[in-house]
Amino acid sequence: MIELAPSILAADFSRLADQVRAASEGGATVIHVDIMDGHFVPNLTVGPPVVKSLRRATKLPLDCHLMIEDPDQYIPAFAEAGADWMSVHQEADRHLDRTLHLIKSHNCLAGVVINPATPVETLTEVLDIVDYVLVMSVNPGFGAQEFIPNAVNKIRRLAQLRAQRGLSFRIEVDGGIAQDTVAEVVRAGAEILVAGNAVFGHGDPKTNAQLLLKAATEAALQRV
Ligand code: DX5
Ligand code: ZN
């Protein structure tokens, strides 16, 4: 099943509830929340208080993408604030196995994220633990960047590994997803599509979400 996860990074933060409602009316089924600490990535965003407010504003699952160092220190606070899914970067985590179990112990879905320069093979030992793998198709830290095409190969490789090993993690992609890139990531095997600029950057978020989902659903029918 294809799901659209609009990233609020590109939304108007003074009208978050309205923006999230519009995206959900357009068919979005997950809300992607980008958490940045100014250390792991060169930017700062929001923390648990904003997740707590979003929790009151929508019933959709909140997908917290933790672009932070030492994630174990903050996972309990995000869970308490109402996060449903939490993903951590392979590159930011010395004890990935422990962190993934910590996320699960808070009854959240646990995801692992890889940057564009990180090979899929670095995840071999955790693929049977995670609920989802997030493939970055830009270098994290900012919205509205250009899609890095090699992400398509990594998505395809993950889908192959999953089939070979009989696993069930889902594949998410994040960065530069728009009308011109969505079809190829879906054909490669992506199921959860994060989009910030393409949903909130211009025009009407509801229409933007509808058009992206339409293109994605059509592409899913062409999977071989
Ligand atoms: C980048 C974030 C993304 C970002 C995507 O560090 O992880 O979620 O908001 O933005 P777009 O869709 O504009 O590339
Ligand atoms: Zn993200």
Stated pTM of the model: 0.98
Long-range contacts of 40-47 (CB under 8 A, 24+ apart): 40/67, 40/68, 40/69, 40/89, 40/91, 40/92, 41/67, 41/140, 41/141, 42/141, 43/141, 43/142, 45/9, 47/74, 47/77
DSSP class of residue 62 equals E
Per-residue pLDDT band at 223 (split at 50, 70, 90) = confident
Per-residue pLDDT band at 103 (split at 50, 70, 90) = very high
The residue count of the chain comes to: 224
Distance 224 CA to ligand 2 centre (A): 28
Per-residue pLDDT tens over the stretch 161-212:
999 999 999 999 999 999 999 999 999 999 999 999 999 999 999 999 999 9
DSSP class of residue 131 equals S
**CB 10 within 8 Å of CB 186:** no
Distance 32 CA to ligand 2 centre (A): 7
Q: What is the dihedral of CA 65, 28, 175, 146, to 10 degrees?
A: -150
Max distance between CA atoms of the chain, in angstroms, equals 46
Q: How far is CA 222 from CA 60, 67, 194, in A?
A: 28, 33, 20
pLDDT above 90 for 145: yes
66 SS3 class: strand
Per-residue pLDDT tens over the stretch 31-70:
999 999 999 999 999 999 999 999 999 999 999 999 999 9
Q: Counting beta carbons within 10 angstroms of the beta carbon of residue 220, is it exposed (0 to 12), middle (13 to 18) or buried (19 or more)?
A: middle
- Single out the catalytic residue among 84, 174, 180, 204: 174
Q: Which ligand places an atom closest to the C-alpha of 65?
A: 2
Helices 205-221 and 16-25, axial angle in degrees (round to 10)? 40
Is 204 catalytic? The answer is: no
Q: How far is CA 2 from CA 20, 46, 157, 182, in A?
A: 19, 27, 18, 11
Is 131 catalytic? The answer is: no
**CB 96 within 8 Å of CB 112:** yes
**CB 144 within 8 Å of CB 124:** no
Give ligand 1 pocket residues (Cβ under 6 A).
7, 9-10, 32, 34, 65, 138, 140-141, 143-145, 174-177, 194-198
DSSP class of residue 61 equals P
pLDDT above 70 for 224: no
Give the Cα-Cα-Cα angle 208, 221, 65 (nearest 5 degrees): 50
Residue nearest to atom 9 of ligand 1 (CA): 143
